[in-house]
Amino acid sequence: MRVCKLKPKAHFHLGDKEAVLEKTSDYIHSDTLFSAICNAYRLLYGNEGLQDVLKLFEDREPPFLISSAFLYAGKILTFPLPLSINWDNYVDDEVIEGLNAERKENEKVDKFSLLKRLKRVKFVSEKIFWNVTEEESRIKDYINDENIIQGILFDDEELKRLRKEFGVKESKEIKIFGKKEVPRVVIDRKTSASNIYHFGEVSFAENCGLYFLMDLRMKEYKKRVEAAIRVLGDEGIGGDRTYGKGLFEAEFKEIELNIEPKNHFVTLSLYYPGEREISLKDGYYELINRGGWIYSLEVKNLRRRTVRMFSEGSVFKIGEGSSLYGGLADVKPIGIDLHEVYRYGYAFAVPVGVGE
C-alpha cells in the first residue's frame, strides 16, 4: 500500500457545489483526484497511453485504486469516521462522570451537549480509525469533546504531540487548516461597471496537508502513475489554478496495513456500486451528488451528467465473491462523441467489524 502526501505549495480551492465560489472543502474527493491524475497522465503519455489505462478500469481490472485525499497533521493521518458508529450507543453515565471528574463546574458536560459535539465529528485519527475498524465499540475509549479539533477526533497522546509540533499549550489553539473568502472585482468591458464577489480558499499549517492511499494492483504502472501525480503537483488540482492555486509537492511512502477480513467494509473513497452489488438494508451511508463540468483537451464548458454516489465513511456488508466494489460511472452528456466521460466510483474498501 502506498501513501501519497500532497505537501501544499499554495492555497487550494476545492469546490463542492456548482456556482458557489465562496465555499471550499478541506479535502479532495476520489473522483476529482482520479480525473486530475488522468489529465496529468495524458500530458505525459499521450491520449493512447491514457486510453490503455482507462480500458483496464472499464474492464474491472484497475491497475490501481485510490482513496479520497484527507488531511494529515504532522505524522498523523486522518480517516473518515465509519458511519455505522452511533454515538448514542456509547455515551452513558459512566462516560459523562469520567469526563466531568476533574473539570471545573463551568466546563462540565451533560449528555445532550456531548452528543451534539460528537455528531459534528467527521474524521478521526489513524490510531482511532484502525482501532474501531477492529472493533467498533472501542470508540467509547476515545470519547472526549476536548479532543475534537476542527471536526477531527484525536486521542490524548496524539494531541500532546500536536501541541508540541504547533508550539501551543492548549489543544484548542491547534489550527490544522484555515478557510477564508478572498474579495475580487470583475469589471464590465463595455460599461466599466465593477462587481465584487468572493472566492473561497483553504490553506494548511506547516507540516500539514492532504494525503491519499493507493493500492497498486499492477506494479508495472507504479513509475508512470507516480510521475503523473508529480506532474499534477506542478499543474495544480482544484479550482482557480490560473491564479497559482492547488500546487503541491508529492511524496510517496510504503506502509504495511494489517487488515483482517470482517463482516463489513468502510469505503475511503466515493463509491458507485454496480447493480445488486450491495444491500442498502445492511448499510450505513450518506449520498452525495456529483456534477460539474467536463475538463479535457477536446471538450470544455459542457456539463457532465449528475450522479449520486455513496460518501466516504459509508459502511456496507461484505458480499460473497469479488472483493472489488464499484466502478466507473458513465456521465457523458448526450451528443458528445469525442471521448468517454467518467466519474471514478471504485470503493477503497477497508474491512470493519460492525456489531450484529
Identify the pLDDT of residue 56: 96
Identify the pLDDT of residue 19: 65
C-alpha–C-alpha distance, residues 127 and 88, integer Å:
22
Identify the pLDDT of residue 5: 96
Band (pLDDT 50/70/90 cuts) for residue 91 is very high
Contact present, 147 and 171 (Cβ < 8 Å): yes
pLDDT digits (tens, 9 = 90+) for 7-40: 999 999 887 776 667 788 889 999 999 999 999 9
179 has a pLDDT exceeding 70: yes
327-343 core/surface letters (b: 16 or more CB in 10 A; e: else): bbbebbeeeeeebebbb
Band (pLDDT 50/70/90 cuts) for residue 356 is low
When comparing pLDDT for 256 and 55, which is higher?
55
Identify the pLDDT of residue 52: 95
Closest C-alpha to 174, from 187, 164, 182, 186: 164
The overall average pLDDT reported for the chain is 90
> Which of 109-113, 222-226, 248-252, 279-283 is the least confident region?
279-283
Cell numbers representing residue 110 in the block:
451533560
pLDDT digits (tens, 9 = 90+) for 122-163: 999 999 999 999 989 999 999 999 999 999 999 999 999 999
Identify the pLDDT of residue 107: 85
286 has a pLDDT exceeding 90: yes
Identify the pLDDT of residue 261: 79
Cell numbers representing residue 129 in the block:
480509525
Average pLDDT over residues 158-182: 93
Is the whole model's pTM more than 0.75, yes or no? Answer: yes
225 has a pLDDT exceeding 70: yes
